Amino acid sequence: MLRSVSSFLGLIALAASESSGAQAFELTSPDIAEGKTIDMAHVYDSMSCTGENVSPELNWSDPPPGTKSFAVAVHDPDAPTGGAGFWHWLVVDIPADARGLKRGAGDASGKNLPPGAHHLETDFGDKAYGGPCPPPGKPHRYVFTVYALKTETLGDAAHGRTAIAGFTINQNALAKASITALFGR
């Protein structure tokens, strides 16, 4: 009996180790870190904020099978907008073979984006990265998210409003990975 229980527990441990060997979709960055303060290099450069407004480098790994494109979003859920938060960056139609965005890819020219990818309009009204610039007070959370999508392009939604793009991204997401960083002034 004891031998049977030991064998059974051994099989469970083996199955657990095999299943834990599967890699999870992950977002990393040399420029931002979970729960850490965002450097001034990545802070907005207008509206009384004095950063450099350079988008951080973002890297992702192990997207799920069936991924046909990616989207990247930066959202401040703490912005005093009546619950809607504030969208700081949206990049869509990133090719499936891409594994990141270079530092500075958020430039309005789009020249540093992977081929086919493009910016959508943010809540700043720009088609580019707009860094943190919260009102004075408590630090805000900035959620950097990469979405693995089951479609190659967002189509018309990629040229529309942020809310429609967000809806379409969520409808087509196979997986997502995030880093939540902080900034306050």
Q: What's the pLDDT band for 73 if we cut at 50, 70, 90?
A: very high
Q: What percent of the chain has pLDDT over 90?
A: 80
Given a cut of 50, is residue 126 above it in pLDDT?
yes
pLDDT at position 23 is 77
CB neighbour list of residue 149: distance below 8 Å, 6 or more residues apart = 67, 68, 69, 70, 71, 169, 172, 173, 174
**Stronger pLDDT, 79 or 157, i.e. the higher one:** 79
The pair of structure tokens assigned to 69 is 């494109």
DSSP string, 113-138: SPTT-EE---TTS-SS-----PPSSS
* Mean pLDDT, all residues of the chain: 89
| Domain harbouring 157, CATH code | 3.90.280.10
DSSP 159: G
Q: What's the pLDDT band for 156 if we cut at 50, 70, 90?
A: confident
Residue 176 belongs to domain spanning: 23-183
DSSP 169: H
Q: pLDDT tens digits for 25-53?
A: 999 999 999 999 999 999 999 999 999 99
User: Is 126 a domain residue?
Assistant: yes
pLDDT at position 107 is 97
Number of domains in the chain: 1
User: Is 5 a domain residue?
Assistant: no
Q: What is the pTM of this model?
A: 0.87
